[in-house]
Amino acid sequence: MAKQNNFFQRALNALVEGRTRQAERYIAQFERDQSRAHNKVNAR
């Protein structure tokens, strides 16, 4: 039973880690896009 629980716990942890990395990439892309838009306004 412990081994089965361990398998499911590892699977859940892998899903959470994947979503965390995806969210970090999304935030980084958003920050880059906002920086570009902000620079365009300031360059006028």
| Consecutive 10-residue averages of pLDDT for the chain (44 residues) | 79 96 95 78 54
pTM recorded for the entire structure: 0.63
- d(C-alpha 6, C-alpha 4), whole Å: 5
Residue found by looking up tokens 């361990």 in the block: 6
- d(C-alpha 38, C-alpha 43), whole Å: 9
Sequence-distant (6+) residues with CB within 8 A of 13 are none
Domain range spanning residue 16? Answer: 1-44
Q: So what's the pLDDT on residue 26?
A: 96
Contacts 24+ apart (CB under 8 A), 30-38: none
DSSP 44: -
Q: So what's the pLDDT on residue 42?
A: 54
Q: So what's the pLDDT on residue 17?
A: 97
Q: So what's the pLDDT on residue 43?
A: 53
